Structure 1
Amino acid sequence: MTHKELFTLFIVFIALFLFGMTIMRAGLHNLAGDRFKHILEKMTDSPWKGLLLGAGITALLQSSSAVMIMAVGLVAAGILTFKQSIGIILGTNIGTCLTLEMLAFDLSAFIMPLLLIGVFLIFLKNQITYFLGCISFGLGCIFVAMHGLEGLAFPISSLPFAHSFFTWTNNSELFGVGLGTVFSAIIQSSTATTAIAMGFMNDEIFGLTSGIAIMLGANIGTCFSAFLASVGANHSARLVAFAHIWLNLLGVILFFPFIGWLSEVASSLTHLPSLQLAHASTIFNIISSLVLLPFVHWYAKFIIFVHGRKN
């Protein structure tokens, strides 16, 4: 297979992964209707409730970006206050880990049943079955993409340029963070970025510390979606986006010196490389969110101090 064919397939599988995520999220979102927005409005009177709510809705919608964009919109509309949104922000980072934990397992045997069931349900003349079909078909596409990316890991790593690139990633954790940040911002998905790293780890192209560095960077890059959603919105809505950026940025800065420790803990939990990275992501996001939770009031003041009050 030529270099051009390898990278073309790589792009195709990334596109398929994002397509599957989009279809699955659309099915989940429409299946729930506007109930999520109503719940967000009614159950954010304390940071703890906001965290649990943000984690739960993100786990259901399989998209921290979607929940963050929703939170920005609710604050822009004056339905939520900026301080109420912080609990949701903390929860979204935890909720998104469920996807990675699921993707870490080899579920290739379910690909064909999921696709066939999805197609069958989509063509039934019923709104509920249509949305369920979208969920099933989207999940099948995600597993196809994961399987394909894992199969491409070794051929791509054997290319001279790619080999040098992966060597830099393995030799420099800072480079890995930068790579994860840029790639996640471009494709608008921290999940996809980390999932790609999982595929390369399964083929022993990346070590666990490199995968963790990329995962940390992906958490920064995913903030770009909420930032874009806040452009042109009112000042309070922009503060939500800034709070999301600062949360992930500070979390990465604090955890960066402890990548080795995080690697040891994740390695002690399982021998599967992809599952180790999923566990590392879960540990990072849970600790980052829970550490900040008691200081939500002061964190809100910090964001307002740094980015100014409404004029």
Structure 2
Amino acid sequence: MGISTIITVLTLLSGVALFLYGMQLMGEGLKQVAGNKLELILYKLTSTPLKGFLLGTVVTALIQSSGATTVMVVGFVNSGLMKLSQAIGIIMGANIGTSITGWIICLSYIDGQQGLASLLSTATISAVVAILGIVFRMFMKKDIFHATGNIMLGFAILMVGMQTMSGAVSPLSQSPAFTSLLTSFTNPVMGILFGILITAVLQSVSAACGVLQALSVTGGITFASAFPMLMGVGIGAATPVLLSAIGTGTNGKRTALVYLLNDLFAMLLGSVLFYGTNLVFHYPFLDTVMNPFSIAALNSMYRFAAMLLLLPFVKGIERLTKVLIPNREDDEEDSDTLDLLEDRFLNYPDLALAQCQRAMDSMAENVVKNLARAMDLLDHFDERKFSKIQEKENRIDKYQDKLDTYLMQMLKRELSNAQSTEVSKFLHCIPDFERIGDYSYEMAKVARDQYEKKQS
């Protein structure tokens, strides 16, 4: 490997790094400007799959990350705030919304000529936005201006990253080895695998499409190689979503799996329909050389068509995820409602109180069932039932610890009189539930002693 090759690779990687950082900065700034209300909007406006579909598209277009949208949704479903069927619509919409970044990237390929036209060049646009961004960051006092400054700086950094990537790969157009490599991706299997690999590494659909748009400036990307790569990109993007589901409950894992299934089905549909009809019609545009604009257009059209075809099958996808990830033992009896108490809901007291109520209901159900088990042991002792009572008693103690801590955190927020009264009621009820649980366990121990000593 020559020095020039090493420099080219390092330049390309630095461009990818700048692109990823700029995109992250933009997304965080947009969420700050929204006042962290995006999550509440997602929760409230998804009563039907179609609403979820449209909302997922809009929210993802704003925060520039289908993965971030899906991770939010995984949290909602895991905490019981949202049904799996609602989440599927949002995830489908997120698949479309993430393609908007490709059109933003196209701005980095605008080349102004002389005179006034030069004001439209990428360098000019990036410079103006960066200057405005640093002014907002350095000289404005309000948080919303700081967040707006972050959005502008993120955009400028993203543009510079794209220019760096394009500059690094441009000389490769003269390399026969590189041209040969790109040509190999006209094989659909190779193209899909490349798309999966690059997105799994970058963990971003937008970044992977950005790299593909940068490679297109070499003139070596044709429709035949771009299409399978874009299909693979969606599947690779499931990696960070699946990682986010580690440690969640059954429904949280199902939600993450939906992201992967959507893109797998989209890839299968795209492959069967496109390559099947190509055998009959022999499409003449397969050898068309792609550029950043045509790749952005192809990505958007493919995602929109695939998700629109899948939308009527929300119920079927939901049933499939339940088959692939069945309920664990005791899932129905004792769902993991401790996950309901997430810190994100503390910003919305009514929502947090509703979650506390659900968690307390579950705690009460555990207490009632344990009491019934303990009384049954007095007449018919069973070691397995005794172990079950022990296990549930530990769980009841966890409920008390988690609820007490959560409610005390709520008291530190600005609450109305009605909300404060509700918190006080909860704080009085929880120790009573826990005490009944203790009595049940003591009763179970008495039953065990009677059984071992053969007393009645």
Provide the TM-score with structure 1 as the length reference.
0.92
244 and 176 in structure 1: CA distance in 2 versus 1, 3 angstrom threshold: same
Q: Is residue 157 of structure 2 the alignment partner of residue 141 of structure 1?
A: yes
- Looking at structure 1, the residues matched to 143 and 200 of structure 2 have their Cα atoms a distance apart, in angstroms, of 34
3-state DSSP of counterpart to 2:47: coil
Q: Is residue 219 of structure 2 the alignment partner of residue 204 of structure 1?
A: yes
* Structure 1 stretches of 4+ moved >3 Å: 156-164, 257-262
Alignment of 1:226-265 (within 5 A): 226-259=241-274
The residue aligned with 1:290 is: 308
1:250 corresponds to which letter in structure 2? F
Deviation at 1:302, TM superposition (A): 1.7
Deviation at 1:257, TM superposition (A): 4.2
- Looking at structure 2, the residues matched to 211 and 104 of structure 1 have their Cα atoms a distance apart, in angstroms, of 16
3-state DSSP of counterpart to 1:280: helix
The residue aligned with 1:84 is: 86
Q: Is residue 296 of structure 2 the alignment partner of residue 278 of structure 1?
A: yes
3-state DSSP of counterpart to 2:133: helix
- Looking at structure 2, the residues matched to 274 and 166 of structure 1 have their Cα atoms a distance apart, in angstroms, of 16
Deviation at 1:165, TM superposition (A): 2.8
Provide the TM-score with structure 2 as the length reference.
0.63
How many residues align? The count is 307
1:60 corresponds to which letter in structure 2? L
- Which of the residues 104, 128, 134 maps onto 1:113? 128
The residue aligned with 1:299 is: 317
The residue aligned with 1:126 is: 142
- Looking at structure 1, the residues matched to 244 and 143 of structure 2 have their Cα atoms a distance apart, in angstroms, of 29
- Looking at structure 2, the residues matched to 206 and 152 of structure 1 have their Cα atoms a distance apart, in angstroms, of 16
Overall identity of the aligned pairs, in %? 26
Answer yes or no: is the 8 Å Cα contact 2:19–2:162 preserved in 1. Answer: yes
Q: Is residue 252 of structure 2 the alignment partner of residue 222 of structure 1?
A: no
3-state DSSP of counterpart to 1:205: coil
Answer yes or no: is the 8 Å Cα contact 2:133–2:149 preserved in 1. Answer: yes
3-state DSSP of counterpart to 1:79: coil
2:181 corresponds to which letter in structure 1? F
Answer yes or no: is the 8 Å Cα contact 2:30–2:151 preserved in 1. Answer: yes
- Looking at structure 2, the residues matched to 100 and 287 of structure 1 have their Cα atoms a distance apart, in angstroms, of 17
Alignment of 1:161-176 (within 5 A): 162-169=178-185, 171-176=186-191
Alignment of 1:150-189 (within 5 A): 150-158=166-174, 162-169=178-185, 171-189=186-204
- Which of the residues 64, 69, 89 maps onto 1:62? 64
Deviation at 1:168, TM superposition (A): 2.1
Deviation at 1:54, TM superposition (A): 0.5
- Looking at structure 1, the residues matched to 136 and 127 of structure 2 have their Cα atoms a distance apart, in angstroms, of 14
- Looking at structure 2, the residues matched to 114 and 213 of structure 1 have their Cα atoms a distance apart, in angstroms, of 35
- Looking at structure 2, the residues matched to 296 and 194 of structure 1 have their Cα atoms a distance apart, in angstroms, of 27
Deviation at 1:32, TM superposition (A): 1.1
- Looking at structure 2, the residues matched to 259 and 101 of structure 1 have their Cα atoms a distance apart, in angstroms, of 24
Determine which structure has more spread, i.e. the larger CA radius of gyration. Answer: 2
Query: Higher relative contact order at CA 8 Å, sep ≥6: structure 1 or structure 2?
Result: 1
Gaps of 5+ in 1: none
- 1:14-55 Cα shifts (integer Å, max 9, x gaps): 000001011111101111122111111111110011011111
- Looking at structure 1, the residues matched to 159 and 175 of structure 2 have their Cα atoms a distance apart, in angstroms, of 25
- Looking at structure 2, the residues matched to 297 and 113 of structure 1 have their Cα atoms a distance apart, in angstroms, of 48
- Looking at structure 2, the residues matched to 154 and 227 of structure 1 have their Cα atoms a distance apart, in angstroms, of 35
Q: Is residue 44 of structure 2 the alignment partner of residue 42 of structure 1?
A: yes
- Looking at structure 1, the residues matched to 225 and 106 of structure 2 have their Cα atoms a distance apart, in angstroms, of 17
- 1:157-205 Cα shifts (integer Å, max 9, x gaps): 5557544432322x42221111111110111111111111112213202
Deviation at 1:227, TM superposition (A): 0.5
- Looking at structure 1, the residues matched to 174 and 194 of structure 2 have their Cα atoms a distance apart, in angstroms, of 19
3-state DSSP of counterpart to 2:300: helix
Q: Is residue 76 of structure 2 the alignment partner of residue 74 of structure 1?
A: yes
